[in-house]
Amino acid sequence: MVITSLQFLIFTAVSLLIYWKLPKRFQWMLLLADSLVFYFVNCRAYTFLYLIGAVGAVYAATCIFVRTRAEGAGEEERSQRARKVALVLALLFNLALLAILKYSNLGIHTVNTIAQLGGGGRPLLREVHFPAPLAISFYTLSLLSYLIDCYWGSAEPERNPLKVLLFTMYFPLMVSGPISRYREIGGQLFEEHRFDYDRVASGLRRAGWGFAKKCVVADRLSYLNDQLFLFPDIYSGIWVLGAAVLYSVQLYFDFSGCMDIVLGISECFGIRLSENFKAPFFSVSIQEIWQRWHVALGSWLNDYLLYPLMKTKPMARLSERLRKKYGKRGRHLATYPALLVLWSAMGLWHGDSWKYILGEGWWFFFVIVCGQLLAPVFATWKKKLHIRETHPVWIAFQRCRTVLLFGIGMIFFRADSYPAALHMLGRLFVPTGIVSPLRILYYAAWEDFGGWPVLAAVVILFVLQMMADAKVYRRESAQTKVKALHPVLRWSLYLALIFTTIFLGAYGRSSFIYFGF
């Protein structure tokens, strides 16, 4: 049941009608029932046992946290040891489950590749196929954040296991996240909600905008990107950069469109989820774009991986040694091992292939480290060239540079494998014409793309999104601007968006790119 399908719209509409008629204390039970239906429709039934196991391990650990906290002061040392054991066992169980179900073939492919490089013949190991629970990557990180927060004392353990289950599999989040924290949405899921017209209308507007972004822009651009990535020997040279940027735009409209639908639907239920995108294409550096793109994942990795790793004794000793040897710069150098771990985890989270580790992880680590190491050189040249940081031309240059560097990482994300991505990047340095590849692209994909009406719609929606993002970048609200329009103009825009989505959208083209992660 894809969330852009008619079935999902009917499912959500019926759920909302029942939700607002139910006694308030039963609302969370309906959300749990909806989540179970959504899960079983979209996933093999027996994979639910994996999810139950993950939730059960975390719930058992938090019960131990509560029990040991209630023990007397004389039992403090034993209680702390029990808490640590419970934390480690629950963490290892969930991580092992994720590793086995999602990353087994990565290990198998790596072993087989090493064996073949060493002169081996046939592959040593066969691929395995373990159907995984829906959204296992998203819900595992959400569960682990809840577990760790309860251990740290920043979240109160939930006594009702069914409520922990709802937090884990709340059905809008089972599409493509965002990764949620219990301390942020736990209360909202279980508190009583009264019908609020403004919130429901706001949610519907946002969901409608998300449908247009996904169906009209992302899915239509996929026809062009399929050609560009399938035939890199034809579309070489400058076309490689064009493909990198165009796919970045497609992925942005696909993923952020999904988030608009998810956040909009959740808003209709009275539950506000955290934002996952904050005008990423206005970023002036790779660091900033990843602070604005997939915000929940970056925040999770910082809070539960990078910062705890930096506080470990080995990292503290390394930082002290480098500081003594290189001064302030040494303390900066000490962060690089931790950053490498973080970006490796970032790449690994995206999928069970080395292309993700290379493109979504190590490439961005390399760019960030190079930028930091060369910062004094850049500062010298900017001073010689009299470049002001606030000059519009310089800001535009930084934004274009950031999008291109980001797009190179997205080539790995879209390519079939890392050799295919490297081959495509190698074709960047092969001169090619503009007219001949354009003519080939026209005959191969223009009709499926939809022609001039779709191109006009895509350009208009892109411009509108950039205008909305400009508001977000300035920490303003685009919805407030729309609501301030004259009712006739506002409803004309709504109707135009609805008809554009209905008549120019590409339906049945694909699910969301991050669906099922």
Q: Are 12 and 265 in contact (CB under 8 A)?
A: yes
For the chain, count helices (H), then strands (E): 26, 0
User: Which H or E element spans position 359?
Assistant: none
Within 10 A of 360 (CB to CB), how many other CB atoms are there?
A: 22
Determine the pLDDT at residue 58: 96
C-alpha–C-alpha distance, residues 293 and 178, integer Å: 11
Long-range contacts of 267-270 (CB under 8 A, 24+ apart): 267/199, 267/200, 267/202, 267/203, 267/206, 268/12, 268/16, 268/199, 268/200, 268/203, 268/204, 268/207, 269/16, 269/19, 269/31, 269/193, 270/188, 270/193, 270/194, 270/196, 270/199
Distance of CA 396 to the CA centre of its chain: 26
Distances, alpha carbon 301 to alpha carbons 60, 68, 194, 308, 362, in Å: 24, 28, 35, 10, 15
Q: Is the peptide bond before 308 cis (omega within 30 degrees of 0)?
A: no
For residue 275, give the nearest of 184, 156, 394, 367 by alpha carbon.
184
Token pair 């909202």 is found at: 188
Amino acid at 417: S
User: Which H or E element spans position 12?
Assistant: helix 6-19
Determine the pLDDT at residue 404: 96
Determine the pLDDT at residue 516: 57
Q: Are 269 and 19 in contact (CB under 8 A)?
A: yes
Please list, in sequence order, all residues whose beta carbon lies within 8 angstroms of the beta carbon of residue 503, skipping any fewer than 6 positions away.
none
3-state secondary structure of 236: coil
Token pair 């990353």 is found at: 103
Token pair 């999104």 is found at: 465
C-alpha–C-alpha distance, residues 494 and 336, integer Å: 49
3-state secondary structure of 293: strand
The token pair at 253 is 């409209």
For residue 406, give the nearest of 281, 231, 302 by alpha carbon.
281
Please calculate the CA angle 267-268-273 and round it to the nearest 5 degrees.
20
Residue spans of the domains in the chain: they are 26-110+127-192, 200-504
- B/e letters for 3-21, b = 16+ CB within 10 Å, e = fewer, are bbeeebeebbeebbeebbe
Phi, psi dihedrals of residue 176, rounded to the nearest 5°: -150, 40
277, β-bridge pairs: 293
Q: What is the DSSP letter of 181?
A: -
- B/e letters for 185-201, b = 16+ CB within 10 Å, e = fewer, are bbebbbeebeeeeebbe
For residue 173, give the nearest of 261, 292, 56 by alpha carbon.
261
Please calculate the CA angle 164-6-32 and round it to the nearest 5 degrees.
15
Determine the pLDDT at residue 70: 67
- Per-block mean pLDDT, blocks of 10 residues, the chain (517 long): 86 94 92 95 92 96 88 70 93 95 89 78 80 90 96 92 95 89 90 89 93 94 93 91 96 94 95 94 95 94 93 85 78 86 94 92 94 87 86 93 96 93 92 88 91 95 95 87 86 92 81 72
- B/e letters for 299-336, b = 16+ CB within 10 Å, e = fewer, are bbbeebebeebbeeeebeebbeebbeeeeeebebbbbb
Q: Are 152 and 311 in contact (CB under 8 A)?
A: no
Amino acid at 480: T
Distances, alpha carbon 53 to alpha carbons 97, 189, 422, 510, in Å: 9, 22, 40, 31
Cα first-last separation, the chain: 16
Q: Are 490 and 202 in contact (CB under 8 A)?
A: no
Q: What is the DSSP letter of 277?
A: B
